Amino acid sequence: MGAGDRVGPAVAEVCPVVSVRQPAKVLRTTFHKRVNTDACRAARITAFHLIPVGPPKEGMLLLRLALPRPARLVLVSVTLLLALALLAAVAPSAAEADVPPSMSEGWTPYDGGSLLLPADYEHTNSMPLELMVDYFTTGTPRVRWETSVVPTVPLCTQQANRPAWISAEQFRAAVVYAVDQWSEAEARVGFNYTGDCLTASPTWRFENNLNEIGWDDARDVVRSPAAAITQGAWVIGLNARPFAEADIIFDHLLNVPEQCFLSTMTHELGHVLGLGHSSAFGDLMYPSFNSADVSTCPPGPSAGERQAVQALYGVNRKPVFDGQRPRTAVAGSRVTLSAVAMDPDGDALTYAWTQVGGPSVAMTPSGPTLTFVAPDREGVTLQFRVEATDRYLHRADASITVRVQEASSPPRSAPSLGALTAGAKHMLMEWSTSEAATEYEFCSAATGGGRPSCVRQDSPLAAVTWDTVLRDAVEGGPRRIFTTGTRETSMRACNDEGCSPVGVGPHAGGLRWTAYDVDYDYFAMAYDVPGSSMRFTIVGVANIDGPARRVSLYSGPEDDPTARRILNCGNVRAGQVCIGLLSPSDRGHAAFATVVSERSGTPTLEHRIRIR
């Protein structure tokens, strides 16, 4: 208390004194080390006094209320000290908690201020009234991060004044560890730790809109015997109090076992999320630990503390991978691995691939797939790790092992057509890969007969490069019909022992007409299951470049090739693909597939492709 304080002795000695100096807009709450429960309950802490404001003292919660302009929200800065002993909403009473029977020396408060020991809870049925505080601070709504706008809380570390017993990398690893522990809580919030802070200042600063984790210095904000403090700032709105900043400062003289340091880091990040302290001995958010007994340094939040974070933010579950079986690959072959995770909440996922074992290979990752060329020698084993993260950076990972062996026979399975996409200059056709293949053979021949042209390549990917090219505008009828220009395509998987059966591809072609700014590719194929009545008809178009064209897809006999409309694509813009399908349950599987495209001021273009 500052000079001139006027508080009755019964309250001043045993209870928190809440004081407000309105001109400076400063609210102070001081908690004393030992609290007489009955006296505080009787006082009810209802006395407010106008007093001079002196410098902050140990064991004090300091709130600075800045009032910029009437229409703006108020930003509040709070230094959280351990003396507050803030309770998580799920914390049980002392009678229910597992309380040790006695206390020995060596206990340290995580955050500073008063030291609350297990013995303080003996012979009481509940915590003192003034300590029954939910989450980070009193009042409603609760202070929390607004994760509907930015789903993760950014963090960075400041290395200045770091003690010699911990390296910079160990300090960073401790943050990663703590972030992972809270990620396991599966709440609708996450941390995004980016490493050391990229700031002009070599050390931490309060109220700089960065969430920094650093070490104390001459400013002496961490008071012995505390291990650290967490200071938060938030905006006061009508129906919300979102965090604007939170900083964690460790005592630069701190020297505790690794487990206790990791526990302290994780404890402080609990405060950054908005949690207070727990009265349950054994909880991560319990106010104190004993460095002589690492069992008092919990590795992560308890089930109750995870529920408290979920109550504050809502639930968001982490992604899940199915079990990944070991794979085999032929030496020198091109290999594609696929590991698709499922997100229970339907969040979009981001994938990251790393090689963790075996001779290094050049990796080409693409979302849930990874492509590489296996080493040329047999008998080696490759190991890969894939990680999937959702928007809150909740993680799931899977490991895949690939054994490299020599080919003993040709690939058995024919590649199957898997994707048709609009590339930068041509439509791309992609077949499936084969684990036994070292290369692939792509062939094409003019529809209706002709000598095939084949090329060996290292991937089952081919482009439609045989466009029909027209330059000048034409006079006459408004409709142009094309019955040539397509080629039948196929792909085989090969190795030193031979090639697989042929994997059939589509009849494909393209049209480039400079005068009308036309550049699109088209395709069609039939797949009739041998020995059955099952039929499939597929037809489509890929607009490579130029203005959108209205496209319709048809099936019909030679004398009426547009008898059955399969799909009205509408306007197909540059870079888009439209595909129509007739399944076995549909009628109209005919000998011809037809693509019709239109745009005002240009001829109507019709491509008739014989597929049966």
User: By percentage, how much of the chain surpasses pLDDT 70?
Assistant: 78
Written as six digits, the tokens of 29 are 């709450």
Q: Nearest CA to 32 among 130, 158, 175?
A: 130
According to DSSP, the residues that pair with 213 across neighbouring strands are 157, 248
Mean pLDDT across the chain: 79
**Within the chain, how many helices (H) and strands (E) appear?**
5, 38
Residue 160 clears pLDDT 50, i.e. is over it? yes
Residues 185/269, Cβ–Cβ less than 8 Å: no
Query: Dihedral of CA 527/562/512/419: which sign?
Result: negative
Residue range 75-128, pLDDT digits in tens: 334 333 333 333 333 333 333 334 443 344 667 777 653 333 333 334 333 333
- For residue 486, give the H/E element and its range: none
Instruction: Look at residue 519 in the predicted model and tell me its pLDDT.
Output: 94
Instruction: Look at residue 379 in the predicted model and tell me its pLDDT.
Output: 87
> Is this structure's pTM higher than 0.85?
no
Instruction: Look at residue 325 in the predicted model and tell me its pLDDT.
Output: 85
Instruction: Look at residue 499 in the predicted model and tell me its pLDDT.
Output: 92
Residue 51 clears pLDDT 70, i.e. is over it? no
Residues 566/539, Cβ–Cβ less than 8 Å: yes
Q: φ and ψ at 264, to 5 degrees?
A: -65, -45
Report the alpha-carbon distance of residue 505 to residue 367 in Å, rounded.
25
Residues 424-432: what's their mean pLDDT? 91
Residues 521/544, Cβ–Cβ less than 8 Å: yes
Size of the chain, expressed as the number of residues it contains: 612
CA dihedral 153, 159, 163, 167 (to 10 degrees): 90
Report the alpha-carbon distance of residue 537 to residue 610 in Å, rounded.
11
